[in-house]
Chain A
Amino acid sequence: MSLRDAIRLAFAQIRAQKLKSFFSVIGVVIGVMFLIAVVTIVEGMNRYMEEDFARSLFGLNTLTVSRQPSMMMNPSDEQWREWRRRPRLRTEDAEAIREQLTVPARVAIESSSTSRARSVRGEEVSGVWLSAASPEIFRIREWDVAEGRLFGPLEAEAGLPVVVLGSETAETLFGSLNPLGRTVRIRDVSFEVIGVLESQGTLFTMSLDNRAIAPASSPMGRMTNPRGVVDNILVKADDPTALELAKMEVEAIMRVRNRLRPDQPNNFELETQDQSMAFWATMSRILFIAFPALVGIALVVGGMVIMNIMLMSVVERTQEIGMRKSVGARRRDVLLQILVESGTLSFVGASIGIGLGLGLAKLVEAVSPMPAAVGYHWLALAAGMGIVVGVLAGLYPASRASRLDPVVALRAE
């Protein structure tokens, strides 16, 4: 019997017993469905983290110095108290870094807060992300201006109340009017709008375009932090290697400034895109370890179900197998038939699982900000696993069937 005949036969058998076939592959369906759903979501998440999240949060080749980490997994109270005891970052720290750094890099300070903003004609936006920053911030964050201009070193030096708005903030406050040259009131201080940024899109449904950036020494500085205190010092190097060097230097500079003895740990945080990715990488690693294990269990259970159903089916078809042998089926023909049947069955199950898994991922994508993306190699892997599970599950029943004595088999009821 040829493989093609065997496959055709297997499909006929599956079609003849649809319900039973379905129940026998339910384990495989569920296993593959979860595999595909999880892989799809995790991969989508991965891509998202790499392309959007880390970049918009930290910027490319950028080091962020801060008092405490920006992302934390369940810090203990003690950890929390340790962060609180740390000295605050100051403008002088940034200046020291700028002066002492030997690696070519841009340095900026940034302090943030949120507030309401109002236009003179009475429009209002809440939750505006305020940044009091050095002019270098635009280059470091890769913020480009869509209209007007950015503030420069002279305006920064003078602490002029000029502001660059996010596209959404500008749109809400001024609508179709040209915002340039108009006044925004933030915490009862008037700022002159000199520019509007290009849209940055969203991060987990959170808009990145509702912001206002003004010089650190402008009144915005006082709104975000006590005088001389800053939230972050940003250092942007040209490439990852330079970033590593810069990180080492900044660490040394900060340790000296904070008068740390060699045995004392850092009392400041140094974060790069890699760190934020490390946070996510840990999570995705957990998912990638835990889920294949679960999927594996589902597939093993699924395989065992298939094996038992195939055993039952072999017993049920004892007479048929006897008849097939009586008309010339060899052992290997019977073996092939049962193996192909259980492989095909499981493959069909895996295909259903792939469909359902993709559906599930799309559903998650629709109701949550997580995107779905899946490599074709995962689909191929799932389908392949289906076949392998089926063939393995079929081995024992197939060998039982092939070794049936035709006389005994024919006499079976």
Chain B
Amino acid sequence: MKQAIIRTKGLSKEYVMGAEIIYALRGIDVEIERNEYVALMGPSGSGKSTFMNLIGCLDTPTAGEYWLNGTAVARLNDDQLAAIRNREIGFVFQTFNLLPRATALHNVELPLIYGGTGARERRERAEHVLERVGLADRMTHRPSELSGGQKQRVAVARALVNDPAILLADEPTGNLDSRTGAEIMALFDELHDSGQTILLVTHEHDVALHANRRITLLDGLIESDETQAAQVAV
């Protein structure tokens, strides 16, 4: 039997804006198993980012349940959430979000610093994961000295360095040209092949085709959830 890394039940998020209540998510039931590769789609404002933030423990739901690796997340306090983000979640953002003045190596070490890993081990692991994303020769470069695709690789390396249960990517190719985007997608495919569980948000159909499951949101609800083999040759 497959083990669910992520399981949600009635996951909801409401925002109160003055007198108005915005229902960003209205009860999402979903299970994602180990080594699944899920693309989250849907029109703008459908709740994709909101869902990612809840899954990534950056935010807490207003209603519903969420189990990450069997742990009920909804009732954890701030520090416990931080620890889960540190160990179980790897986030990749559309805008890379790297420290502009730090080297690639230091950027990748960051989660390990907050995890309390010693300096020596930090460096070894950061180097190793940078090699894995193909940046062995760019370790001491700063973000301003890297191309967009390389920056996103650094961000991916940072997300992977703690060997997270799931890699979350909110439009990782949104700021990249199509060729560089394709390179990043190839990297994701590789990671998936080596066992990584991935959840990614995208607007682009051909990006979604890399995944083997596509969930589409509409107005805070799941509109469709289809599993089929990836349609892109790796």
- By a beta-carbon cutoff of 8 Å, the part of chain A in contact with chain B is 1-2, 5, 12, 16, 319-320, 322-333, 405-407, 410
14 contacts between A and B (CB under 8 A): A5-B113, A322-B97, A326-B56, A326-B91, A327-B111, A328-B85, A329-B82, A331-B82, A333-B82, A333-B114, A405-B59, A406-B59, A410-B58, A410-B93
Inter-chain contacts of B58 with A (CB < 8 A): 325-326, 406-407, 410
Please pick, from A12, A327, A406, A410, the residue contacting B114 in the complex, using a CB distance under 8 A: A327
- Please state if A328 and B82 are interface contacts (CB–CB under 8 Å): yes
Counting CB contacts under 8 A, is B158 at the interface?
A: yes
Contacts of A329 on B, CB cut-off 8 Å?
Answer: 82, 114
Q: Is the CB of B59 within 8 A of A327?
A: no
Closest 3 CB pairs of A and B: A328-B86, A328-B114, A327-B111
B78 on the A face (CB < 8 A): yes
Contact A1 B97 (CB under 8 A): no
- B22 → A minimal CB distance (Å): 14
Q: Is B209 an interface residue (CB 8 A)?
A: no
Q: Is B177 an interface residue (CB 8 A)?
A: no
In the complex, B83 has a CB within 8 A of chain A: yes
- B111 and A331: CB pair below 8 A? no
State the CA gap A5–B83 with chains docked (Å): 18
Complex Cα gap A410–B170 (Å): 12
- B199 CB, min distance to chain A CBs, angstroms: 15
Is B85 within 8 A of A326, CB to CB?
yes
A265 CB to closest chain B CB, in angstroms? 75
Q: How far apart are the CA atoms of A333 and B59 in the complex, in Å?
A: 18
B53: interface (CB < 8 Å):
yes
Instruction: Specify which chain A residues have a CB less than 8 angstroms from the CB of B195 in the assembled complex.
Output: none
Chain B 72-102 per-residue mask, 1 if CB under 8 angstroms from chain A, else 0 = 0000001100110111010101000101011
Does B115 belong to the interface (CB within 8 Å)?
A: yes
Instruction: Return chain B residues, CB-CB under 8 Å to A12.
Output: 101-102
| Chain A residues, Cβ within 8 Å of B162 | 328
Residues in B neighbouring A2, C-beta threshold 8 A: 116
Q: Within the complex, what minimum Cβ distance (angstroms) separates B71 from chain A?
A: 16
Q: Which of B33-81 contact A (CB under 8 A)?
A: 53, 56, 58-59, 78-79
Does B6 sit within 8 A of A, measured CB to CB? no
Q: Are B101 and A331 in contact (CB under 8 A)?
A: no
Main secondary structure of the interface of A (DSSP, over half): helix
**Bound-state Cα–Cα, A1 to B82, Å:** 13
Q: Give the complex CA separation of A405 and B60 in angstroms.
A: 11
From A320, A331, A406, A407, contact of B79 by CB (8 A): A331
Contact of B101 among A16, A319, A323, A324 (CB under 8 A): A16
In the assembled complex, B110 has its CB within 8 A of some CB on chain A: yes
Which residues does chain B contribute within 8 Å of A324, judged by CB atoms? Answer: 110, 114
Minimum Cβ distance to chain B for residue A325 (Å): 7
Q: Is the CB of B79 within 8 A of A330?
A: yes
A331 to B115, CA, bound (A): 14
The reply to whether B110 and A327 contact each other, CB–CB distance below 8 Å, is yes
Closest CB-CB distance, B75 to chain A, in whole Å? 17
Question: What separation, in Å, do the CA atoms of A407 and B116 have in the docked complex?
Answer: 24
Closest Cβ–Cβ distance, residue A349 to chain B (whole Å): 21
Q: Which residues of A contact B89 (CB under 8 A)?
A: 326
CA distance A301 to B151 in the complex (A): 41
Q: Which residues of A contact B97 (CB under 8 A)?
A: 319-320, 322-323, 326, 410
Question: How many angstroms between the C-alpha atoms of A326 and B96 in the bound complex?
Answer: 12
Residues of A within 8 A of B111 (CB): 327-328
Q: Do A330 and B110 touch across chains, with their CB atoms under 8 A apart?
A: no
**With A and B bound together, what is the CA distance between A2 and B113 in angstroms?**
8
Bound-complex Cα distance A221 to B86 (A): 95
Known: A12-B101, A16-B101, A410-B93. A328 touches B59 (CB 8 A): no
Residues of B within 8 A of A1 (CB): 113-114
Q: How far is the CA of A331 from the CA of B114 in the complex (A)?
A: 11
A324 vs B111: C-alpha distance when bound (angstroms): 8
Question: Which of chain B's residues has its CB closest to A16's CB?
Answer: B101
Bound-complex Cα distance A1 to B91 (A): 20
Query: In the complex, what residues of B have CB within 8 A of residue A320's CB?
Result: 97, 99
A326-B58, A328-B114 known, 19 other contacts, Cβ within 8 Å: A1-B113, A12-B101, A319-B97, A323-B93, A323-B99, A326-B56, A326-B89, A327-B85, A328-B115, A329-B82, A329-B114, A330-B83, A331-B79, A332-B79, A333-B82, A405-B59, A406-B59, A407-B53, A410-B58
Q: Which residues of A contact B113 (CB under 8 A)?
A: 1, 5
Residues of B within 8 A of A331 (CB): 78-79, 82
Complex CA–CA separation, A320 to B99 (angstroms)? 7
A319 to B111, CA, bound (A): 16
